[in-house]
Amino acid sequence: MFEVRGGERAFVYDYDDTVFDRGSIVRGGSSLKTRRALSQPKRIPSLNTIPVLNRQVVDAPIINPFELISFLFHRRRGVFPQARDEITKAFEAGIDIFGNTGRLNKKPWVNITDRTLERGGIRPFLQGSFFTPVGVRVLISKIDALREVQSKYEVVDYFEDDEVTARGVKLVLPEVNVHIVRFESNKRVVSDLLK
């Protein structure tokens, strides 16, 4: 576990399809999922109904076959070069950097994520990573993590590829600067602020 120390500015990154390049096949599936989710109404919680979550890593195996398949795909991902450059520049400018992922807080997921960050050369730049506790909706986990960071920093920028999650965060935490990351012609593009 790590401590959010606080300061002037923090960048918080979702990992998959934002920092980690998941590849065109997986990315295509994600965009279909996003389009489907955008067409369905989502229940967005209010901030006071979101509990402070226990973020301890759990020593639990991967036993679900669907989770195992996802795990096998994710462990081969690398850091997108543009993301590495962006994170390096932010670190050099004195901005504190965090990860905020939908990946579960199970030890195998935490380990492959740390290895990917290490291989990508950005692990030393991160203050820490927020993982999603088992049984908690990803949006709830991400909002709780951002609430903690926001309580200790004057300015928080959040980078997310999933538009549903990005809009949910913006609705619940309007002071957070939310950026949507997209891929256009195999290039990573960071949008202007979500209003």
Q: What is the CATH number of the domain that holds 155?
A: 3.40.50.1000
Q: Are 149 and 12 in contact (CB under 8 A)?
A: yes
Asked if residue 2 belongs to a domain, the reply is no
Asked if residue 12 belongs to a domain, the reply is yes
pLDDT tens-digit map of 92-140:
999 999 999 999 999 999 999 999 999 999 999 999 999 999 999 999 9
The total of structural domains in the chain comes to 1
Q: Which domain holds residue 89?
A: 7-193
The residue whose two tokens read 């256009």 is 184
Please provide residue 187's backbone torsions phi and psi, each rounded to the nearest 5 degrees. Answer: -115, 140
Asked if residue 37 belongs to a domain, the reply is yes
pLDDT at 25: 47
Asked if residue 1 belongs to a domain, the reply is no
Asked if residue 151 belongs to a domain, the reply is yes
Asked if residue 127 belongs to a domain, the reply is yes
Asked if residue 162 belongs to a domain, the reply is yes
Give this prediction's pTM. 0.88
Lowest mean pLDDT among 22-31, 92-101, 141-150, 152-161: 22-31
3-state SS, residue 33 = helix
pLDDT at 45: 82
